[in-house]
Amino acid sequence: MRTRPLGCMTFTALVAAVIALLAIVGVIVVTGNSMFSPGALSALTVTDGAQAVSTGGVTSHAQLEGRCDACHAAIWSGQKMGDRCVACHADVATQSATGTGLHGKLDANAATCLRCHTEHHGATASTTLADPRVFPHEQTGFVLTAHAQPAVAAAVGCRSCHPGSPRDYKVPDCVSCHQKLDAAKMAKHTDTYGAQCLNCHDGKDTYGHAFVHTTYALTGKHAGADCASCHKGSTTLAALRTTSTTCATCHAKNDVHQGRLGQSCGTCHTPDGWTGAQLDHGTQTTFPLAGKHAAVACESCHVNRQWSGLGTTCASCHKKDDPHAGKFGADCASCHNASDWKDAKFDHSITGFSLAQAHASVSCDKCHANKRFAGTPTTCVGCHASQDKHNGVLGNRCEQCHSATQWANASYNHNAAAFKLVGAHVGVTCERCHSKAPPASTVTTCVGCHAAKDVHNGSMGSVCETCHKPTAWMDVKVNHNAFAFKLTGAHAGVACSQCHKDSSPRNTPTACAACHNKPASHDSHFGGVCSSCHTTKAWRPAAFNHAATSYKLTGAHLSVTCLKCHTNPSVTYTGASTVCASCHKKPANHTGAMGSNCGQCHTTRGWSPSTFNHSTTSFPLTGAHTKLLCTKCHTSPTSFGGLPTSCVGCHNKPSNHPSSYGTVCTLCHTTTAWLPIHYTGPHTFPMTHHGAGGVCANCHAATLSGYSCAKCHANAHGGSRDQSKCASCHPDGRGGD
């Protein structure tokens, strides 16, 4: 089956295609590529005077009609249309490369020509876009923000400011347009800042009505001042920005100080008003204004507006008011203060004589008569000699007794003397001891004043302070520790007269019996050494150290009174019996049966309960026996010896096997417990023989030595054997032959 080719690939179709292609080539040759043109090229020319300017060999693009390759590069050439543009417009290439000229400002290059320039819009069309909304005018340094609407009603276009060519611009064009809005304002504006508008204006009114004065804030009256007041003659931005901000630049003509205070006007003046200036004398000068100085008018001190070089001492202004005629020098502040010149106060402490207490309230002329200040005496007698009742006997050191509080209020510090005042002496008037002058001759011994009160008539000597105290004469306290007989215990609280019956305490005896001979319980049996039992803490109770004797008291004996053992106080305490029975014979449970060695069972800790060491006998107690009372076995208190030690002696009743098993109970029983039993003797058969279960009576009905097997084995051997002789054949309880 034959396959037919596509219609376009048939011979007829291919011939037709070749013919069509040849026809197109012929038309291109004849018309010069005009068949591809979207429209006519611009025929506008740029003239220099009357002559058209030639660029790239032509005066307009229309002369390139049919020469597409002049602008449109072939695909294989590696160029773009912009490269062909700058090939002809070499000046634009130079501006772009150097950043100069219009195209240099616009940052234009071969790749951006189409942003502003187009073609094929007709012979009369411009090759440059004239719409300011599209043109990047801000790159020229002049923004069109403020020119959205022109000065007149017509729409804003390039020719509004560039009447001839976009390259043409003349400054008077701004003025001529803006005069139509406000002629008077423009006249004043050009007079102040000149007619070179672009020196300051950038098209968006950066320096217009909305300008914020951030670098120099306008406050006070500056806020309402006209710009021209400070910026007149500033025809450039640099001039505007470098306008001086010092006060003197504008206010020099108003400077009443004529430059003598410098140009820091802000030290006193403020933008709120040039008049009403104020100076902070405290921080801006070396002389702060205080007191009445703060209310004084400036001119009172700064005569003829002399602001600097004035003296700051008081005498500079107040010399004419000095009643001292300069005798105290120029340091007026030593006495006077800024609050009130007449309110003078002098710091007397700087003279070496401080005014204290009553001196502080004395007027100056009281001591400084006739205004004599220098050379005034500082001793007390210099002023108080007329008040000296001692007539000079005590010398001139009045301050030893008198103080500045009040002259009559004298007080002497006796601690500075050899005889210090303590106790009742402190409240005694000086005259009581110092009846005659001078006081230095006053005696300091006690008898010098108290001899009339000596009840001892001199027998105790003159050292009264051994017993008497300065607190009060009758407050007598003797330090007995200074004597051979020291007071301790109850003796310390006894009145002196209890022992010292006469006025001569030196003869008082120190033996106990001298005071404590009645009542006497011992009738002198113990001699005179009472301290063997008695102490000074209290005469009773007495305590004797029995440990020093051959019979030491222990246990309950320690709490027993002496008379409990020493029953006859009329008899000497020595030689008393130490045998227990001498005190403990009643009641007596043993009636002597246990002998006199009570210590075998009894201790001094307590007579009852008693304990006996049975291990010392022939029958030591073990097991349950150790817990039994003695009377359980020793039923009679008079018979402890000779008791039987065999088990049946106590355990014969009750008896389950009356004498059947003999008397050797220990074969089955132990002291741990009487029951249960466990046989420990020899046994022929196993104890667990058949069903015996260790119960003896199961096999041994009468005696341990006799037994019967018939109870369990009655039918063994058909009854033909003697069942009392089973062991002869069955010795271990097992089956036989």
Q: DSSP string spanning 661-714?
A: T-S-GGGT--SS-SSS----S--SS-TT-TT-TT-GGGT-SS-SS---SHHHHT
User: What is the C-alpha to C-alpha distance for residues 710 and 724, in angstroms, rounded to an integer?
Assistant: 8
From CA 195, how far away is CA 404, in angstroms rounded? 92
Of 523, 502, 503, 501, which is closest to residue 513 (Cα–Cα)?
523
Where are the strands (E) in 579-671, listed by range? none
DSSP code for 273: B
**Tens digits of residue pLDDT in 51-75:** 888 888 888 998 988 788 888 888 8
**Per-residue pLDDT tens digits for 638-677:** 667 778 888 887 877 666 666 667 778 888 888 888 777 7
Q: How many CB atoms lie within 10 A of CB 173?
A: 15
Lowest mean pLDDT among 91-105, 245-259, 384-398, 517-531: 517-531
pTM, 2 dp: 0.35
Segment 194-201 shows an average pLDDT of 82
What distance in Å separates the CA atoms of residue 587 and residue 357, rounded to the nearest whole number? Answer: 95
Q: Which range is least confidently modeled, 125-134, 340-349, 363-372, 414-423?
A: 125-134
pLDDT band at 31; cut points 50, 70, 90: low
Per-residue pLDDT at 691 exceeds 70: no
Q: Are 245 and 294 in contact (CB under 8 A)?
A: no
Other Cβ atoms closer than 10 A to 329: 9
Cβ contacts of residue 87 below 8 Å, gap of 6+? 56
User: Confidence class of residue 438 from pLDDT cuts 50, 70 and 90?
Assistant: low
10 Å Cβ neighbour count for 402?
Answer: 19
Residue 728 has pLDDT above 80, yes or no: no
The residue assigned the tokens 């000065």 is 151
> Is residue 153 very low, low, confident or very high in pLDDT (cuts 50, 70, 90)?
very low
According to DSSP, residue 603 is labeled: B
How high is the pLDDT of residue 429?
81
> What's the confidence (pLDDT) of residue 144?
77
DSSP summary character for residue 539: S
pLDDT of residue 151: 46
- Cβ 301 vs Cβ 310: under 8 Å: yes
pLDDT at 149 over 70: no
Which of 98-102, 249-253, 457-461, 603-607 is the least confident region? 457-461
Phi, psi of 31 (to 5 degrees): -95, -10
Distances (CA, A) of 585 to 565, 569, 705: 13, 21, 54
Which residues lie closer than 8 Å to 377 by C-beta, 6 or more apart? Answer: 383
Q: How far apart are CA 694 and CA 688, in angstroms?
A: 6
Summarised one tens digit per residue, pLDDT across range 516-562 is: 776 566 666 666 678 778 888 887 777 788 888 888 988 888 888 87
| The token pair that represents 243 in the structure block | 């306008």
Nearby residues of 649 by Cβ (< 8 Å), 6 or more positions away:
643
Confidence of residue 402 (pLDDT cuts 50, 70, 90): confident
Cβ neighbours of residue 358 under 8 Å, at least 6 residues apart? 404, 405, 406, 407
Contact 6, 39 (CB under 8 A): no
| Average pLDDT value for residue range 131-143 | 74
CB atoms under 10 Å from CB of 638, counted, come to 12
More confident residue, 157 or 150: 157
Least confident of 32-36, 184-188, 283-287, 400-404: 32-36
Distance CA 577, CA 583 (A): 9
* Contact assessment for residue 376 and residue 367, using Cβ atoms and an 8 Å cutoff: yes
Q: Where are the domains of the chain?
A: 662-737
Other beta carbons within 10 angstroms of residue 262's beta carbon come to 11
- Can the peptide bond before residue 505 be classed as cis, meaning omega within 30 degrees of 0? no
Contacts of 579 (CB under 8 A, 6+ apart): 596
Pairing mode, if any, of strands 47-48 and 51-52?
Answer: antiparallel
Please give the structure tokens belonging to residue 136.
Answer: 């990047």
CA atoms of 238 and 690, how far apart (whole Å): 143
pLDDT of residue 53: 83
Least confident of 25-29, 350-354, 493-497: 25-29
Helices 81-88 + 90-98 axis angle, to 10: 100
Q: Answer yes or no: is pLDDT of 160 > 80.
A: no
Provide, rounded to the nearest whole percent, the portion of the chain with pLDDT above 90. 0
User: What does the pLDDT read at residue 524?
Assistant: 65
Compare 103 and 687 and report the one with higher pLDDT: 103
Q: Is the pLDDT of residue 168 over 50?
A: yes
Report helix, strand or coil for 229. helix
**d(C-alpha 93, C-alpha 100), whole Å:** 10
The alpha carbon dihedral of 116, 121, 127, 129 has a sign of: negative
Q: What is the pLDDT of residues 337-349, one digit of tens each?
A: 888 877 777 888 8
Does 737 have pLDDT greater than 50?
no
| Cβ atoms within 10 Å of 417's Cβ, excluding its own | 14
Mean of pLDDT values over 314-340: 79
Confidence tier at 154 by pLDDT (50, 70, 90)? low
Q: What is the DSSP string of 644-658?
A: --STHHHH-SS-SST
What pLDDT shows up at residue 462? 79
Q: Tell me how far apart the alpha carbons of residues 213 and 9 are, in angstroms, rounded to a whole number.
A: 83
Supply the mean pLDDT for the chain: 78
